[in-house]
């Protein structure tokens, strides 16, 4: 395999606090054959000034009028048109990579059937301090493509910051996808790609996803979770009957099992935000409809929330 050029698509908006670390993490890559396409969605802070301080011929800066999250597809696909690479990597302006990321990941594409590779993500806070790890589901480390598509229909387990995609496959599906009323492109794009080729997981941290108050995921988490469930169901219905049967999945599975996991995710989000009442409601819903393992997780989280409430009440006495 020749050494392919990797085109890194970096959408950014008002990331003055984070964009320098993002760019430095690309400059530190041990794999040198890359270009970075930073597409600025009309930032009103110092993001443009900071980007322009990096004088490197491999970094390309595109600036546009603000289109917002509901037009992310246009932003991503505009960057895609400028990409010369055989492989496409995603790195949003508030995230960053370990130095080995590109060198480790391009190996997956020695198999011509692989259209997407992803890995574990480290979740960090506003200051870049480690919080937790976004793991790969253990059963998918050696799972078939049907296993991966089946699990994707139940939840999005692929962090965009770790993803690398074969450009040809991405163009063949018409570029990045964003159905109406979905404020993101990653999940619908992964689903579409999962029907045309193999996904290759790498059991290492390949990116760091920053969680902070200003990001879309935090602002619209509940909306994104609800809309994703409806989209997954619609996507499944549009698959051929043969593919539906091969997945050993039904519409009821997507609603029941997927929804119970959604409630778990919403509960964890509320818990991390300090909203214990909302966390309890969502964990209780997951407990009511989920399969056995989900019920165990929901029960454990409910007990944890209850203990926190009891502790909090004792402190106020």
CA distance linking residue 247 with residue 143, whole number of Å = 13
Say yes or no: 149 and 195 in one domain: yes
Backbone angles phi, psi at 71, to 5 degrees: -125, 30
Say yes or no: 225 and 193 in one domain: no
CA distance linking residue 186 with residue 199, whole number of Å = 14
Asked if residue 70 is part of any domain, the answer here is: yes
**Residue range 157-181: mean pLDDT, rounded:** 96
Comparing CA positions, the residue from 52, 71, 70, 53 lying closest to residue 62 is 52
Say yes or no: 25 and 50 in one domain: yes
Q: Apex CA 83: angle with CA 97 and CA 85, to 5°? A: 70
Q: pTM for this structure?
A: 0.86
CATH for 16: 3.90.550.10
List of E strands, 249-299:
none
Helix 186-193 with 145-154: angle, nearest 10 deg: 150
Say yes or no: 209 and 225 in one domain: no
Rg (CA), the chain: 20
Give the tens place of pLDDT for each residue, 80-103: 999 999 999 999 999 999 999 999
Give the tens place of pLDDT for each residue, 42-68: 999 999 999 999 999 999 999 999 999
Dihedral angle computed from the Cα positions of residues 182, 205, 270 and 210, in that order, rounded to the nearest 10 degrees: -70
Asked if residue 1 is part of any domain, the answer here is: no
Residue 34's H or E segment, with its range, is strand 34-40
Say yes or no: 174 and 66 in one domain: yes
Range of the domain at 245: 221-316
Q: Which of 196, 219, 242 is the last residue of a domain?
A: 219
Residues forming beta bridges with residue 134, ordered by sequence position: 121
Q: How many domains does the chain have?
A: 2
């Amino acid at each position: 395999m020749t050494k392919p050029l990797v085109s890194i698509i970096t959408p950014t908006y008002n990331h003055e606090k984070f964009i320098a670390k993002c760019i430095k993490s690309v400059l530190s890559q041990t794999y040198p054959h890359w270009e970075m396409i930073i597409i600025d969605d009309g930032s009103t802070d110092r993001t443009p000034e900071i980007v322009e301080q990096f004088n490197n011929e491999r970094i390309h800066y595109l600036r546009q009028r603000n289109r917002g999250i509901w037009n992310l597809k246009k932003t991503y696909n505009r960057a895609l048109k400028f990409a010369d690479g055989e492989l496409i990597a995603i790195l949003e302006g508030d995230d960053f990579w370990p130095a080995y990321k590109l060198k480790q990941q391009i190996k997956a594409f020695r198999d011509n059937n692989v259209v997407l590779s992803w890995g574990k993500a480290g979740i960090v806070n506003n200051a870049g301090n480690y919080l937790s790890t976004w793991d790969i589901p253990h059963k998918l480390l050696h799972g078939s493509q049907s296993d991966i598509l089946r699990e994707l229909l139940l939840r999005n387990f692929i962090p965009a910051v770790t993803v690398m995609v074969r450009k040809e496959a991405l163009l063949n599906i018409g570029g990045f996808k964003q159905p109406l009323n979905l404020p993101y492109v990653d999940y619908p794009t992964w689903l579409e790609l999962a029907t045309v080729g193999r996904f290759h997981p790498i059991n290492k941290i390949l990116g760091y996803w920053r969680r902070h108050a200003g990001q879309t995921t935090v602002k619209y988490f509940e909306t994104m979770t609800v809309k994703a469930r409806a989209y997954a169901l619609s996507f499944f219905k549009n698959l051929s009957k043969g593919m539906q049967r091969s997945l050993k999945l039904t519409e009821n599975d997507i609603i029941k099992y997927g929804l119970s996991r959604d409630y778990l995710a919403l509960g964890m989000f509320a818990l991390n935000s300090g909203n214990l009442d909302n966390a309890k409601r969502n964990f209780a819903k997951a407990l009511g409809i989920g399969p056995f393992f989900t019920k165990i997780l929901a029960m454990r989280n409910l007990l944890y929330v209850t203990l926190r409430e009891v502790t909090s009440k004792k402190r106020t006495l």
